[in-house]
């Protein structure tokens, strides 16, 4: 089995299945913090998918995207949590089952 | 020969990311979900980036990937810590089998401070934050 077949038939489907599981948590998540955790992990899985793409098609340019994605994931998580505490969250607190 | 190292590290990374997503879906509590997703996800992505560095075997690519891995290792625990702090402050419930909670009733919602960090006299004189 060559490298391209292995990446196309094993690595990328595993990453796709994990993205689907994370999306289930995004839609199901009882509170907003669960959705923030899930979106953070989704961006990190996206970095992994880009690195698999870079190995598969032999493109070095794709590596630059991973740094930008890591930056955006960190900044969005910190901004969500920092400003959600300060806001009026009393009405969101009771929609958990 | 280098191809097998690339495929080995890619496999390790993909399996760890799958474990992280299963943990995110199946854990009963936001704190346990956060623990599972951050630790396993960071290790999986670092392993996949190591695979890319072995595949290209170039010094510039190596520096770039080392920067990304160091950035991830530095920032993911900070984000997880802020998520856990915010979740505890807004009062998200823990799992019913949780043994102890040291930060219970330690947060002052009027002054936005933790009681463990302030003395009793200083707590009354603080002005309320905006």
pLDDT at B24 over 70: yes
Q: What is the DSSP code (8-state) at residue B86?
A: H
pLDDT at B110 over 60: yes
Q: How many other C-beta atoms can be found within 10 angstroms of the C-beta atom of residue A9?
A: 10
Residue among B9, B100, B81, B1 nearest B38 (CA):
B81
Stronger pLDDT, A2 or A24, i.e. the higher one: A24
Residue pair A8/B9 in contact (Cβ under 8 Å)? The answer is: no
pLDDT band at residue B16 under the 50/70/90 scheme: very high
Residue pair A81/A36 in contact (Cβ under 8 Å)? The answer is: yes
CB contact under 8 A, A51 and B45: yes
pLDDT at A9 over 50: yes
Does residue B36 belong to the interface with chain A, where contact is any CB pair within 8 Å?
Answer: no
**pLDDT value, residue B120:** 53
Residue B14 to chain A, least CA–CA distance (Å): 6
A70 DSSP β-pair partners: none
Residue pLDDT, tens place only, B77-97: 999 999 998 888 888 888 888
Alpha carbon B123 to its chain's center: 31
pLDDT band at residue B119 under the 50/70/90 scheme: low
Q: Which of A74, A84, A96 sits opposite B79 (nearest CB)?
A: A74
**pLDDT value, residue A4:** 87
pLDDT band at residue A30 under the 50/70/90 scheme: confident
Residue pair A91/A42 in contact (Cβ under 8 Å)? The answer is: no
Q: How many other C-beta atoms can be found within 10 angstroms of the C-beta atom of residue B68?
A: 25
Residue pLDDT, tens place only, B36-78: 988 898 999 999 999 999 999 999 999 999 999 999 999 999 9
The ranges assigned to domains in chain A are 3-86
Residue B97 to chain A, least CA–CA distance (Å): 18
CB contact under 8 A, B11 and A10: yes
DSSP assignment of B98-118, as one string? Answer: ----TTTT-EETTTTEEGGGS
Residue among B11, B97, B80 nearest B42 (CA):
B80
Partners of A34 on chain B (C-beta within 8 Å) are 30, 33
Residue pair A36/B83 in contact (Cβ under 8 Å)? The answer is: yes
CB contact under 8 A, A55 and B55: yes
DSSP E strand boundaries for chain A: none
Residue pair B6/B53 in contact (Cβ under 8 Å)? The answer is: no
**pLDDT value, residue B96:** 87
Residue of chain A nearest B88, judged by CA positions: A85
Q: What is the DSSP code (8-state) at residue A8?
A: I
Partners of A11 on chain B (C-beta within 8 Å) are 10-11, 14
The answer, yes or no, to whether ipTM is higher than 0.90 is no
d(CA A32, CA A51): 29
Residue B53 to chain A, least CA–CA distance (Å): 9
**pLDDT value, residue A97:** 42
Q: Which of A18, A38, A48 sits opposite B48 (nearest CB)?
A: A48
Average pLDDT of span A70-77: 92
**pLDDT value, residue B101:** 82
**pLDDT value, residue B108:** 72
CB contact under 8 A, A11 and B72: no
d(CA B95, CA B31): 9
Partners of A1 on chain B (C-beta within 8 Å) are none
Residue pair B25/A24 in contact (Cβ under 8 Å)? The answer is: yes
Q: Which residues contact B14 (CB under 8 A, 6 or more apart)?
A: A10, A11, A14, A15, A48, A52, B44, B48
């Amino acid at each position: 089995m060559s490298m391209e077949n292995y990446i196309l038939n094993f690595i990328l489907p595993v990453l796709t299945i994990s993205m689907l599981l994370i999306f289930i948590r995004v839609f199901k998540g009882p509170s907003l913090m669960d959705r923030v955790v899930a979106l953070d992990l989704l961006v990190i899985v996206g970095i992994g998918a880009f690195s698999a793409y870079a190995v598969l098609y032999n493109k070095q340019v794709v590596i630059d995207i991973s740094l930008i994605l890591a930056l955006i994931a960190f900044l969005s998580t910190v901004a969500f949590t920092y400003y959600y505490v300060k806001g009026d969250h009393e009405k969101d607190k009771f929609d958990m089952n | 020969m280098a191809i097998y190292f690339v495929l080995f590290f890619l496999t390790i990374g993909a399996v760890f990311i799958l474990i992280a997503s299963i943990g995110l879906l199946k854990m009963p509590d936001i704190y346990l979900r956060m623990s599972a997703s951050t630790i396993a996800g960071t290790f999986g992505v670092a392993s996949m980036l190591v695979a890319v560095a072995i595949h290209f075997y170039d010094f510039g690519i190596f520096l770039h990937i080392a920067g990304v891995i160091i950035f991830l290792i530095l920032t993911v625990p900070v984000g997880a810590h802020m998520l856990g702090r915010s979740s505890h402050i807004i009062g998200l419930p823990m799992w019913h089998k949780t043994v102890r909670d040291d930060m219970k009733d330690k947060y002052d919602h009027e002054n936005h401070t933790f009681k463990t960090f302030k003395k009793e006299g200083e707590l009354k004189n603080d002005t309320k934050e905006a």
